[in-house]
Amino acid sequence: MNASTSSPSVLARRSFLGLGLATGASLLLAACGGADVTAAGSGGNSGTLRWGWALPTSWDPVFSSAGWDVHMLSLVYAGLTRLDEQGKAVPALASAWTYAPDGTSVTFTLRPGLTFSDGTALDATAVKQSLDRGRTDPKSLVAPQLTHVKDVAAPDAGTVVLHLTQPDYQIPNLLAGKTGMIVNPRAFTADAAALATQPAGSGPFTLTSYTQNAKAVLKRNPSYWEAGSIKLENFELYPLPDAATVVAALQSGQYDVAQIPGSQVAAAKAAGLEVQVIPSLVVAVLDVNTTKAPFDNPDVVSALKYAIDRDALVKTQQFGYGEANYQPFPKGYVGYDPASADLYRYDPAKAKALLAQAGHPDGVDLTITTTSAQGLPEQLQDQLKQVGIRTTIEVVPVAQATQIVYVQHSKALFTDQFAGRDSAPQAFQVLFGEQGLMNPARTTPPELAAAVEKVSRTPLDSAEYPATLQAATALAVRTMPNVFLYSVPRILARRRSVSALPAATVVQRFEGVTAS
């Protein structure tokens, strides 16, 4: 994400490997049928919702290169599970699941009569084929989340069994996101590449036309397993509007709902728009490469953490929306560690002392790499100067940032935002794992790896789970160099013709939403 805004379209390109799709011509898909997508539907459903948000890097969940894509992909795909508003796995395509006593297998029971949007049967064999593709495709971006899955079995049409290499009680959470979105085997066996622009799922909507980087038009899917909860007949998806014009675009009806920055909340309310501030798992962070000087000295890393006034950043960059944070999870989430609440509170004297201890009594010079010099980098530059950390701001193109920072590992300090994940160990893997994308040094302390492993082996509904997860969080923020700054809530402005949106922490959902 652009470090000085809350743009999901930019965040997406730095949350996972890959740079998205190139601009292309409008693609008219089968099932469009030439219908007027703004016309009222039938069967008691009507209305069109125009969402100014983002477009996915790919409509194929196996190759989607952005964590943020889960919001858009959830419109067209369903999984065995989904997350409720608190981030807990609940039934979706599967009506129930049970673990073996030793935790080394989990059996899912499918709802009867499921179909993909094209009418193809969605049975256990289709689920197995879809999950196996995600596990085994050499270029799969979800495969790292399924390393504990030894094989997938379909003993009968309504039963799916995941055999595991070791106990892993995170599977229901993992399968609630992109990792578990079920793709129609009929599509990927015929033309897998086409899925990038022509999704084949069983979600609440189906894509009817798509102009890359410009617009996606969707229509309600009557065969969705919970179709009765979808009140919108039509859905239009657009890239994030410009912050300076988003309120006017909402007033004019160009959008019905749009993500807005904190700077536009007052203007949106003055314009008669409804504003919802929804807690999210997004957190602003500085990614630190400890293989690069001066961060190869742990005292310099610690000095950096104490040199930042996070409360001032929230006030200026977020206009007061969000909270100073020192860890990857927000308050209220099960993984939030209360003991780490003020772990690196602003202490310029301590920062100076740590620099001196590191052999830099006269300060140190370093470079902040970012995709936009204005906003957060400038404020960080001013704060760090106060303790003797002299910085140069280096701007790299958004489209090249992932390659430069996370593939080439060539930068020491990078402004970023982490979009959260469906499973806490999955978040740990991305941030702190030896192959974690947002761990440019690619090193992990053995004790942290063991703590995360313990989280996966602890049943989600056990009394020990919260303490086990919080212990892993506490260890991570004390041993890893990532500098967490502040939480970033989802701020949505909507026209009064649209009903309130579900306040889902992880993925924005639209069950029950109406638009008149």
Q: Domain residues of the chain, as ranges?
A: 81-186, 283-487
pLDDT value at position 180?
Answer: 96
Average of per-residue pLDDT across 497-510: 93
- Which residues face 28 on adjacent strands? 209
For position 19, what pLDDT does the model report? Answer: 28
3-state SS of 421-482?
Answer: CCCHHHHHHHHHCCCCCCCCCCCCCHHHHHHHHHHHCCCCCCCCHHHHHHHHHHHHHHHCCC
**Is residue 21 scored above 70 in pLDDT?**
no
The answer to whether 49 touches 188, Cβ cutoff 8 Å, is no
Helices (H), 6-115: 8-15, 70-73
pLDDT attached to residue 407: 79
Cβ-contact 235, 75 below 8 angstroms: yes
Query: Could you count the other beta carbons within 10 Å of the beta carbon of residue 215?
Result: 15
Which backbone phi and psi does 426 adopt, to 5 degrees?
-65, -40
Whole-model pTM? 0.84
Write the class of the CATH domain 81-186. Answer: alpha beta
| Distance separating alpha carbons of residues 26 and 114, to the nearest angstrom | 31
Mean pLDDT of 294-309: 97
Query: Omega of the bond prior to 446 within 30 degrees of 0, cis?
Result: no
The confidence score (pLDDT) of residue 45 equals 57
User: What count of other Cβ atoms lies within 10 Å of the Cβ of residue 255?
Assistant: 22
CA nearest to 148, candidates 485, 453, 355, 379:
453
28 pLDDT tier (thresholds 50, 70, 90): very low
Determine the average pLDDT of the residues in 150-160.
Answer: 98
| CA distances (Å), origin 407, targets 60, 297, 411, 506 | 22, 23, 10, 27
For residue 161, the cross-strand partners are 107, 153
Supply the CATH classification number for the domain 283-487.
3.10.105.10
Q: What is the pLDDT of residues 224-281, one digit of tens each?
A: 999 999 999 999 999 989 999 999 999 999 999 999 999 999 999 999 999 999 999 9
Angle in degrees, CA 265, 270, 276, rounded to 5: 40
Confidence of residue 430 (pLDDT cuts 50, 70, 90): confident
Q: Which of 420, 86, 489, 486 has the alpha carbon at shortest distance from 277?
A: 489
Cβ contact 393:384 at 8 Å: no
Residue 138: which residues within 8 A CB-CB, separation 6 or more?
Answer: none
User: Whole-angstrom Cα distance, residue 9 to residue 69?
Assistant: 9
Cα–Cα distance between 21 and 67 in angstroms, integer? 15
For the cut 50, the answer to whether the pLDDT of residue 25 exceeds it is: no
